[in-house]
Amino acid sequence: MPTFFSLAEVLEMAITLEKKGRVYYENIASRTKDSEMRELFLFLAREEMRHEERFKALAEKVKASPESLPAKWEEVRPYLQVITDSRFFAGEDKVIRKQESAEAVSEIFEYAIRFEKDTILFYQEIRGLVSVSDQKVVEEIIEEEKSHIRRLADFSLKY
């Protein structure tokens, strides 16, 4: 029997990813000397913050409808935090860890694009675990992340 995540759970994971993505891009921006590149990563950080706020607003709406929350939401929430941390942020092989030591511009873009791709893959996995009625929201999240990849890829061609 498949495990289903509620929309509230998916949104909680999205909030965590967007929050950490914002910090990720702010760190890159603070390390780069190229002003145009710094502006790109500050823009992406602002986008992550905007996405986080959007997902928080959706989550608040969902939380207002108790039937959309898991029965033991306060127990599930820390578990979801661990899932997103281990998938994206914990361990030396994770993109965020590698980015910290990246010096070449090509590496910076490679890791940023990989972070966005990993995020999309995560949401694509989650899409199959939510109810059919909630899949549209997950699709919207995926489209937001795809727009980041396009922008990064286009900008990387300049370097």
Per-residue model confidence as pLDDT tens digits over 49-107: 998 988 888 788 777 776 655 556 566 667 666 666 666 655 555 656 666 666 788 88
Helix (H) or strand (E) holding 59, with range, is helix 35-63
pLDDT digits (tens, 9 = 90+) for 108-152: 898 899 889 888 887 887 777 677 777 888 898 899 889 999 999
- Give me the count of residues in the chain: 159
Nearest Cα neighbor of 9 from 90, 71, 54 is 71
**Any idea where the domains of the chain sit in the sequence?**
7-156
- Residue 148 CB partners (closer than 8 Å, separation 6+): 44, 47, 116
Q: What is the CATH number of domain 7-156?
A: 1.20.1260.10
